């Protein structure tokens, strides 16, 4: 049992951001399941999220939700958020989470060049290249960009009407918005490419469109990352100054909460500037907004480092508690540990994590999106 009981108790205090009040500081990280045939979330999806809310999670962030455009995502078993049946089913998911005292945010997702084109639909991206610099799909025309921003806005508006407590924009891991940030995938010459300020322009326009659609008090979360699905060593900000340049336009456009995705929450982001401060800590420092930390919480290995057949064992969370006490983050998102045990948060609260059995990647039904 952790010695710093006071710090643990602090993690169970509420947090209010705009119209959202999270009952504690724990979130469920967004994890793609491909379990919604035809894009329609069923009763099993509602039960999946309900169990995590019942297990103590204060904020559920859904798996990535495809924008209502065929080029936005594939396969179609990934849920969408358009159409009467889809809206009705999401309403049941939201009601199930709310019934357990939790809150829920919809993560809005456009896969960009990382979209699988097995169905014959051409992926679209800033420059028609994927995260390895290979030609894939086609580059978006400048006059197409407002339409994509409006897709995000429409999806956010629908999410609010459904009853979601917030939306998260997926700007991480090498997907569309992140492809604008990253030099390797953005070679545009039309004002949306070039220096970091120009590469941030379109994601900021998306944020502004979403903000206009949902109003001033509805929380907008923005997820970003250094690492990409095809390159764990990638970087879009090499130092704190660049990080501030990246985030400032998003703050001005209307982001309320940042969700910097890392594979290990405790790794220093810029060790030449601070030997301990994490990406979450730097994000809060330069942006001045609430931050969600994430990355191998409660587990021994970082995300996507497991070998086949290896059971990942639980790890102490003292470092996490230290980071929270130091003000590095406001909410912590948990992924794989919640797949292994939906009641992980309640176990932490009750000092019962010794009974946590670990995580077997071979039997898990989800992966990070």
β strands within the chain, DSSP E: 15-17, 20-22, 26-28, 31-32, 59-66, 103-109, 124-125, 138-139, 166-173, 220-228, 257-261, 292-294, 331-334, 367-368
Rounded CA separation 13/191 (Å): 44
Q: What is the pLDDT of residue 314?
A: 53
Q: What angle do CA 208, 210, 211 make, to 5 degrees?
A: 65
Average pLDDT along the chain, 369 residues, taken 10 residues at a time: 63 97 98 95 98 98 97 97 97 98 98 96 98 97 98 98 98 98 98 97 98 98 96 96 98 98 94 97 98 85 52 68 94 93 93 62 42
Which CATH number is correct for 8-365, 3.30.720.210, 3.20.20.70, 3.30.1490.190, 3.40.50.300?
Answer: 3.20.20.70
Q: What is the pLDDT of residue 364?
A: 46
Q: What is the pLDDT of residue 362?
A: 47
Q: What is the pLDDT of residue 57?
A: 98
Q: What is the pLDDT of residue 351?
A: 87
Active site residues: 175
Exposed, middle or buried by CB within 10 Å (0-12, 13-18, 19+), for 66? buried
Domain ranges of the chain: 8-365
- Give the number of residues written for the chain: 369
Q: What is the pLDDT of residue 276?
A: 95
Q: What is the pLDDT of residue 155?
A: 98
């Amino acid at each position: 049992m952790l010695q710093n009981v006071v710090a643990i108790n602090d993690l169970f205090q509420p947090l209010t951001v705009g119209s959202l009040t999270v009952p504690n500081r724990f979130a469920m990280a967004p994890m793609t399941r491909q379990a919604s045939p035809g894009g329609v979330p069923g009763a099993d999806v509602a039960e999946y999220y309900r169990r995590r809310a019942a297990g103590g999670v204060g904020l559920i962030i859904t798996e990535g939700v495809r924008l209502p455009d065929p080029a936005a995502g594939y396969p179609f078993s990934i849920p969408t958020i358009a159409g009467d049946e889809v809206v009705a089913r999401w309403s049941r998911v939201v009601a199930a989470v709310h019934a357990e005292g939790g809150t829920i945010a919809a993560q809005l997702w456009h896969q960009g060049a990382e979209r699988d084109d097995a169905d014959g639909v051409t992926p679209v991206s800033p420059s028609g290249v994927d995260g390895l610099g290979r030609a894939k799909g086609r580059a978006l025309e400048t006059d197409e960009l407002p339409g994509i921003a409006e897709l995000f806005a429409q999806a956010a508006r629908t999410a609010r009407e459904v009853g979601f407590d917030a939306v998260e924009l997926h700007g991480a891991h090498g997907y569309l918005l992140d492809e604008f940030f990253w030099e390797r995938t953005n070679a545009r010459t039309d004002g949306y490419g070039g220096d970091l300020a120009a590469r941030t322009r379109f994601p900021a326009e998306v944020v502004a469109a979403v903000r206009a659609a949902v109003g001033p008090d509805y929380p907008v979360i923005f997820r970003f990352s250094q690492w990409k699905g095809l390159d764990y060593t990638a970087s879009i900000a090499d130092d704190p100054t660049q990080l501030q340049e990246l985030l400032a336009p998003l703050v001005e456009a209307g982001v309320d909460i940042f969700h910097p995705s890392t594979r290990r929450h405790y790794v220093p982001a810029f060790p030449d500037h601070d030997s301990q401060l994490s990406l979450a800590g730097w994000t809060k420092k330069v942006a001045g907004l609430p931050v969600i930390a994430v990355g191998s919480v409660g587990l021994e290995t970082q995300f996507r480092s497991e070998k086949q057949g290896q059971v990942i064992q639980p790890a102490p969370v003292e470092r996490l508690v230290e980071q929270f006490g130091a003000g590095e983050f406001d909410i912590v998102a948990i992924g794989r540990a919640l797949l292994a045990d939906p009641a992980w948060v309640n176990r932490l609260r009750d000092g019962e994590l010794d009974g946590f059995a670990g995580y077997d990647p071979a039997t898990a039904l989800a992966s990070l999106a």
